[in-house]
Amino acid sequence: MLHRIQRIVNVTPYTIICEWTNGETRAIQMEQKLREWASEQGSVYERLLEKVIFMNVQLDTESKTLYWNGLVKMQDTSGNLIDAPLDIDPDVLYGMSVPFIGKINREGKAA
C-alpha cells in the first residue's frame, strides 16, 4: 500500500501529526531517527534538529509528503547550484509514525 500524507494537523518540535490518505491520523515521532541520520559526517539532517527549522515543515501536495524548503543544494540544467527542498519518502515517514491517540479540535488541529 502506498502511504501518502493528506494534511499536516499539528507540528511540535520533532513530532508531526498528519492525516494520511488512508484516513488514519498518525504522529510521526522524528527526533530519534533525525539524531541517527544527523550523526553521519556532513549530514543535512543535522539542520532539522534546529527547532526553528524543523517547525517550518510543509506538505508537498503533489507527492503527498513532507519537506523543508532550501535545505539542500542541487544542480540546475545550467550547472548552477540552487537551493532545493529536503523531503522524506512518505513510506519511511509512515513507518516512523504511530496512531494518534488524541483529539482534533474544530479548526482541525490537535487539541
Fold topology of 5-99: NE0471 N-terminal domain-like (3.30.2020)
In the predicted model, is pLDDT for residue 31 greater than 70?
yes
pLDDT tens string 62-88: 999 999 999 999 999 999 999 999 999
Q: Would you call 88 exposed, middle or buried from its count of C-beta atoms within 10 A (0-12, 13-18, 19+)?
A: buried
The pLDDT assigned to 34 comes to 96
